[in-house]
Chains A and B, each alone.
Chain A
């Protein structure tokens, strides 16, 4: 291995790769980790590391033993204690050091630090500050590799703290169920942060839990690199050959504090730490090698010298590297331009996009002279058409959800697709939203394009952490080297006494987070065009479909078209007042426009169509004309998208305003069941008409 070309993105072969799983190579990998960690601990003390620093000292045998069997294109997902995994997978030490020192040359370009190391080029798909998601993401990568038949393997490293977490249960169940090529490596160092495993697990054996998920569970001495190496060899071979996942529990111990600078003896004793130090995996291996062959000393000493120099060079490189410039802080939140994933099929990239946009507006399109009259389709048929077209073009698309297989989806979102594409691309899931969303995250990170069909958007909340903390942040944390083409779709909206767990509209909440695109169409035509864009863009998209609109019929052009995100539609032109509405509220407002026109009030109705990005320019232009703005939003007012629009318009359009900005929102209550109660919490057509009149009287 060479650490002398830190500027190169090309990873050198993993330390102790498949061809070099011998003891000396394992020793070298462990030593590289050990000396790096000790050097980083000193740097932390010196203030060169700006945030937390969790070292892997004492646990080196696990990363070294497992990664010895991984190919360069296999992938690993790791934890907050991930330096060792990164180095064992082949991350060049200078890039590790530079990342911790916050430099532009770091493996995450300074966006991650100790807990967010990314090097997709060498299969390091990330370390994470959240306990559990790496298990789901590894399952997702396994799913991706199975779908694309690549023969690659995914590994999740996680601690004992993760195994009492829902992600462990959901991830292992999905991997066992679908026989995914994954190795789950539990590094049981006996403390979840500072809480002893013996006090957090009802079943003290992690390995034994494999049986619950239909996979082998193996317990090994995590301080014996040869034992780990042997167990990993078997597990990786099983995964690669289609035999499914394995759970390996490695019993080990970290001999430094949870994080550098933290006290260590409030929850464990010095004696216990010293006892484990005496079982040092490096010393143990060295003794064994010398006992078997005293002549190995020369080789060991050469490795000692080489690795010491390597680590010192890494430190110097990092210390001399530049910090990233502040003006790049907002780069890589979103993918730039249209999808450009190497190897993705389809001719999207060469398509001149703008030319495909049909003329505005969305709801009442006037067909161009000579053009064939648009067909009438329902909202849901229009989205099915979009999905069908894109699945035919792109074999990387697969759909997950409850009942989206042979049944064709609760809302007929996938009708007919199972017959065409089968269970690999239409995967009925158990009811485990967190599990399959986390899995979708890993799948997107590793080359697939997952579509998650939630049925109801309310269900997504169980997966909010995976969306907000993982999916939304992944492009940024990896400084744009990972793309996240995940489509998350589900129904929103109040109606038909669905009550409070089947009625929420959550677009404002998701729009708050950088990294997500949030779409809420109001017409069949918009639904298809926007879904086509969602299925071809590289950003994660929440595609929220109002249930009361699914059966709505409307014109949908027969020719292929896309509707760009961040372009509002002027649904109806008017003179006196601008109304901004989304989804169902567009139609509620339209209902009253003619009546108001007879009263002499001319309404301009704008549908933003996407909540993120939000097209305030179009609203601003309209308010410049009318001077009055009403935002009609079925969702909550407090902190909602209406508040955002109002704030932006009050700022950018202050001098255009002839009256206060008004919002008409749903009541700030959970959604009640009984019809009169339900009707009372949603803006009615009458309430909208009155709000418009009142605003015009201001």
Chain B
């Protein structure tokens, strides 16, 4: 009996994923436990292992690499090792045409003869013909040549077609990650009614605390404490104090998330990932810093599995290393808020009714109005600010 291969659920909120491709060839014997195909869900890709053994069979109408697939969708089959050829491939075979051999077109003119194929450029079923050079160039430039129209005499795609396409189409190839980011941010921005709360705080104590702890933590935990760690801690503590902020909107209404988890937006060359820092409210700061560092490293190395990206109602997006003073962020899909943090800079600040120059931080909390109204959201942001202005409480 053939064993159907379907799209598995990767995390508790996954409904669909991008089918990246097979890791085995059709007809190849697959053993249970071997990586079989790759799915990209949320913002990470994951190799899915075979749960059974058998010979991989991929029906012709199966999802193609790059397709978005629903959880449970059929991808293919594992046949018993002795089973005969499936009918799909048998019916597919006759539609394939071998290219006409150039050698068969014999010259008949008595005059000087140009030897070569005059027949139509060979094209494999469903694919335009492309010169080897064009295909190589397309691979270099990330151009999908199968979608191009060739300008060669017989419609063959030649190098100049690829060069033209690379000039007029995307500056960069559309990767599955890019596609997902586009899809998710558009979805979230359209579905979640955003509003924004802003606050500026005196970061003097925060900076002093970090200064005081950084050397000691580096020695003891082997990790460099960052402001991000302290903000994560403040955000998680505030979440614990404001359970209403630890909720998200689902089709059936507001649901609470388990644990006090905070997502951290990690910027990558090809896009971004939001690994979830679990239980960021608890434990020592060195421990938190170490977990944060491990997650960032894993994200950059592409080693994050789907589970590490699932969950949490709020995230932190810190552009403090840049020249940005403040900004507002789009709420990550499936969450209800995001805290956007700009750089620390000396700014005029009122202390005891006097203008003084203080290092300050500007925060902006984007909030999903379906989950929180202005008052509760203000309380949530206020708790975060309190924590950051009295940082000793965070440790």
Chain A residues at the B interface, C-beta cutoff of 8 Å? 627, 637, 642, 654-669, 680-684, 687, 691, 694, 697-698
Contact = CB atoms under 8 A, between A and B. Distances in A.
B118 to A, nearest CB: 10
A620 B228 CA distance: 56
B116 interface: yes
A698 B113 contact: no
B110 A663 contact: no
A656 B135 CA distance: 10
B117 A667 contact: no
Contact of A627 (B102, B133, B153): B133
Nearest to B133: A658
Interface in B119-160: 131-136, 152-154, 156, 158-159
B111 interface: yes
B115 interface: yes
A656 B110 contact: no
B351 interface: no
Given A627-B131, A627-B133, A658-B131, A637 B113 contact: yes
A28 to B, nearest CB: 64
Contacts of A663: 113-116
Given A657-B132, A658-B134, A658-B158, A684 B112 contact: yes
B112 A687 contact: yes
Most buried by B among A654, A655, A668, A669: A655
Contacts of A665: 112-113, 115
A66 B305 CA distance: 93
Contacts of B115: 637, 642, 662-663, 665
B132 A660 contact: no
B152 A667 contact: no
B358 to A, nearest CB: 62
B133 A660 contact: no
Contacts of B158: 627, 658-659, 698
B112 A655 contact: no
Given A657-B131, A658-B133, A666 B153 contact: no
Given A655-B136, A660-B116, A698-B156, A669 B110 contact: yes
Contacts of A656: 132-133, 136
Given A658-B131, A698-B152, A698-B156, A664 B112 contact: yes
Interface residues of B, number: 22
A691 B118 CA distance: 13
A651 B134 CA distance: 17
A664 B131 contact: no
A657 B110 contact: no
Contacts of B133: 627, 655-658
Contacts of B116: 660-663
Given A655-B133, A657-B133, A659-B158, 12 more contacts: A656-B132, A656-B136, A657-B131, A658-B131, A658-B134, A662-B114, A665-B113, A665-B115, A667-B113, A687-B112, A698-B153, A698-B154
Contacts of B117: 660
Interface string B234-261: 0000000000000000000000000000
A691 B102 contact: no
A658 B159 contact: yes
Most buried by A among B113, B135, B156: B113
A49 to B, nearest CB: 43
A680 B110 contact: yes
B223 to A, nearest CB: 47
A662 B102 CA distance: 11
A697 B112 contact: no
Most buried by A among B107, B114, B158: B114
Interface string B62-76: 000000000000000
A694 B131 contact: no
Interface string B91-115: 0000000000010000100111111
A682 B159 contact: no
Given A627-B159, A660-B102, A666 B112 contact: yes
Nearest to B139: A655
B159 A667 contact: no
